[in-house]
């Protein structure tokens, strides 16, 4: 059953928000991409756009992100981190917030495939896209919530799942959205105050790659955890390499 009868309109969401994230809150029944709904100047840190359906949803590395109307949580959050800071670390901050919100509202265990795919088991349940422009970073988050198996995308890099498929029961997008914005605000404030160090234990606990054979660009080796600056450690016969960004390909052993 689609969640379309319960759209994530401002009148339902804003009264439940515990902090400053989600203010202002922009909801649309349909848009091209929530990433483009927060472009006007002057919007504050924590402004949020949410939609029920995107006609031009974007994924990482130039891929598209498709959805079935009303089945996903689709949002963008505008952040204004200090100029010159390590904004690439925000991938991990947002990934952690998404993972925590899913765990808190569904009871599922999640992991994070560096830098920011959120998995349940071996399957991707949420994707994150960071787009920077000037002093703003727009964090796009897509969570598969209510899709059944037949509605999940096929042929993706990682197999997909939804919260409904993974738990075997319906999940409430409103509860998840409120938990996600609270978690993201809290984790972002921590990062602003003290960078990644206080978040590392929670990231390491959910590290989907540690000990796995991986290739990133020209680097092949064993994933050796996340460094304090957010880079991925790759252990090779020649020693340790730290990788700042890139697409991780898991090596499949025969
Ligand atoms: C990925 O895993 O490739 C990232 C997917 C990000 C999808 C979200 S949905 C809300 C926001 N709007 C977009 O167009 N993309 C992000």
Give the mean pLDDT of the chain.
Answer: 93
For the chain, the domain total comes to: 2
Same domain, 60 and 36: yes
Residue ranges of E strands in the chain: 25-28, 48-51, 72-79, 111-113, 117-120, 123-133, 136-144, 213-216, 219-226, 232-236, 239-243, 248-250
Q: How far apart are CA 233 and CA 240, in angstroms?
A: 7
Q: Predicted confidence band at 249 (pLDDT cuts at 50, 70, 90)?
A: confident
Judge if 189 and 235 occupy the same domain: no
Any residues with Cβ below 6 Å from ligand 1, and which? 33-35, 54, 57-60, 63, 65, 74-76, 117, 127-129, 140-142
Q: Which atom of ligand 1 is nearest the CA belonging to 141?
A: 8
5 occurs within a structural domain? no
User: Distance from the CA of 53 to the center of ligand 1, in angstroms?
Assistant: 12
The residue whose CA has the least distance to atom 9 of ligand 1 is: 142
137: in domain: yes
Flag whether 28 is in a domain: yes
Q: What is the pTM of this model?
A: 0.95
Residues 228 and 131 in one domain: no
Q: What is the pLDDT of residues 167-180, one digit of tens each?
A: 999 999 999 999 99
pLDDT of residue 41: 82
2 — pLDDT class (breaks 50, 70, 90):
very low
pLDDT digits (tens, 9 = 90+) for 194-218: 999 999 999 999 999 999 999 888 8
Specify whether 192 is located in the same domain as 240.
no
Q: Do 177 and 231 lie in a common domain?
A: no
């Amino acid at each position: 059953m689609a969640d379309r009868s319960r759209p994530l309109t401002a009148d339902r969401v804003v009264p439940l928000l515990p902090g400053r994230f989600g203010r202002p809150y922009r909801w649309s029944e349909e848009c091209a991409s929530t990433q483009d709904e927060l472009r006007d100047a002057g919007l504050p840190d924590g402004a949020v756009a949410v939609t029920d359906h995107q006609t031009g949803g974007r994924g990482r590395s130039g891929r598209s992100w498709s959805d079935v109307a009303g089945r996903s949580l689709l949002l963008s959050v505008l952040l204004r981190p200090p100029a010159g800071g390590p904004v690439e670390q925000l991938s991990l901050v947002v990934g952690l917030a998404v993972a925590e919100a899913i765990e808190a509202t569904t009871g599922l265990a999640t992991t994070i495939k560096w830098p920011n795919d959120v998995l349940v088991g071996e399957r991707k349940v949420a994707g994150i896209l960071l787009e920077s422009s000037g002093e703003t970073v727009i964090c796009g988050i897509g969570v598969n919530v209510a899709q059944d198996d037949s509605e999940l995308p096929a042929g993706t890099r990682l197999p997909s799942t939804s919260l409904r498929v993974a738990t075997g029961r319906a999940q409430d997008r409103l509860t998840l959205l409120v938990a996600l914005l609270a978690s993201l605000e809290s984790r972002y404030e921590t990062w602003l105050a003290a960078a990644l160090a206080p978040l590392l234990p929670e990231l390491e606990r959910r590290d989907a790659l540690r000990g796995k054979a991986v290739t990133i660009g020209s680097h092949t080796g064993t994933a050796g955890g996340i460094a304090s600056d957010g880079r991925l450690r790759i252990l090779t016969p020649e020693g340790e390499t730290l990788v700042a960004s890139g697409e991780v390909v898991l090596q499949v052993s025969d």
